[in-house]
Structure 1
Amino acid sequence: MVTAEDIGKRVEDDSGRVGILRDVIPDYEDPSELPWRRRKQPIAFLWPEQGGREWLVPPGNVKPSLLSP
């Protein structure tokens, strides 16, 4: 699991995607959900090293990457 101390470091999610941890929000609510369906949940924001679309993953599904930079 990653924490705010890992922000800016290379990490890997459970599906094997590697990226840079941008943020960890413990009480994130998805703004795309209807207001009555929103629920607070911890979320990690990951960004591909070479650019691209950021993706969201529960922090328990992310670990520091063992791959060299």
Structure 2
Amino acid sequence: MRVQDRAGRVGILRDVDPEWEDPAKLPSERRKTPMAFVRPEGGCPEWLVPPGTVVRV
């Protein structure tokens, strides 16, 4: 589905991982948080945002 984030970027919601773990170097620094994966409509690398910051357009 097409979504827009708070920064105004529009893309396709690809997935939501409710327990995404940040890539900190040390395991003790890693935190789990929900994360949405959004890809721009024209391709390019996807970006990550908290799922509560996107709305359907």
TM-score of the aligned structures, taking structure 2 as reference length: 0.92
Question: Per-residue deviation at 1:18?
Answer: 0.2
Where do 5+ consecutive residues of structure 1 fail to align?
Answer: 1-8
Q: 5+ unaligned residues in a row in structure 2: which ranges?
A: none
The whole-number CA distance in structure 2 between the counterparts of 1:28 and 1:48 is: 20
CA RMSD in angstroms, aligned pairs only: 0.7
Scaled by the length of structure 1, what TM-score is found?
Answer: 0.77
State the alpha-carbon separation in 1 of the partners of residues 50 and 15 from structure 2.
11
Report how many aligned residue pairs link the two structures: 56
Q: Please give the alpha-carbon distance, in whole angstroms, between the structure 1 residues aligned to 2:29 and 2:54.
A: 25
Are 2:20 and 1:22 equivalent residues in the alignment?
Answer: no
Cα separation, 1, equivalents of 2:16 and 2:33: 11
What is the aligned-residue identity percentage?
Answer: 59
